C-alpha cells in the first residue's frame, strides 16, 4: 500500500465533504456541505485554495464542466483512515493495541460497557478469515 500523507484539519474537512457527497462535486456543493455544519464556516476562496492544494497532493481529480470545476476524491475514506490508524498506532502506542485501549480506558474515553462490546467484536472478528 502506498504511503498517504496526513492532511491538516482544514484539508481533511474538504475531503470529508467529498467522501460524504458524490463524485464530481462543484465548489458550491462542497461549500454547502461544509458550511451546513455549525462547527466550521469557510469562505469560497478558502475552499478553492484548499481544493487546489488537495489536487497538487494527489487527493482529488479536477475536471472542467463549463465554467465550473468538478472534484472527485482519488483516495477513499477507508484508505485514508487505515493509514491514519496505522500511523497513530505506530507513533504514539509503539504498535500496541493494548497500549492504545489502555490509554482510552485510563483517560475515561471508553468505559466498561465499551470494553465489553469491543471484546464481543474481537471474538466475532477472530472467527472471520483475513482478506489476504
Q: Are residues 85 and 51 in the same domain?
A: no
Q: Are residues 14 and 27 in the same domain?
A: yes
Q: Are residues 26 and 44 in the same domain?
A: yes
Q: Are residues 66 and 88 in the same domain?
A: no
pTM above 0.85, yes or no: no
Q: Are residues 15 and 68 in the same domain?
A: yes
Residue 1 lies in a domain: no
Q: Are residues 26 and 64 in the same domain?
A: yes
pLDDT tier at 130 (50, 70, 90 boundaries)?
Answer: low
Residue 19 belongs to domain spanning: 9-73
Residue reference for cell 470529508: 16
Give yes or no for a contact between 60 and 54, defined as CB atoms under 8 angstroms apart.
yes
Rounded distance between C-alpha atoms, residue 30 and residue 26, angstroms: 6
Q: Are residues 66 and 20 in the same domain?
A: yes
Mean of per-residue pLDDT scores for the chain = 90
- For residue 94, pLDDT beyond 70: yes
Amino acid at each position: 500500500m502506498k504511503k498517504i500523507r496526513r492532511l491538516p484539519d482544514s484539508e481533511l474537512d474538504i475531503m470529508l465533504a467529498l467522501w460524504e457527497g458524490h463524485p464530481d462535486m462543484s465548489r458550491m456543493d462542497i461549500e454547502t456541505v461544509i458550511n451546513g455544519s455549525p462547527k466550521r464556516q469557510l469562505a469560497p476562496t478558502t475552499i478553492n485554495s484548499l481544493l487546489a492544494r488537495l489536487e497538487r497532493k494527489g487527493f482529488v481529480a479536477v475536471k472542467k464542466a463549463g465554467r465550473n470545476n468538478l472534484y472527485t476524491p482519488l483516495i477513499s475514506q477507508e484508505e485514508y483512515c487505515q493509514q491514519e490508524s496505522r500511523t497513530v498506532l505506530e507513533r504514539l502506542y509503539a504498535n500496541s493495541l493494548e497500549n492504545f485501549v489502555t490509554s482510552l480506558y485510563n483517560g475515561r474515553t471508553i468505559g466498561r460497557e465499551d470494553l465489553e462490546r469491543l471484546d464481543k467484536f474481537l471474538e466475532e472478528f477472530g472467527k472471520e478469515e483475513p482478506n489476504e
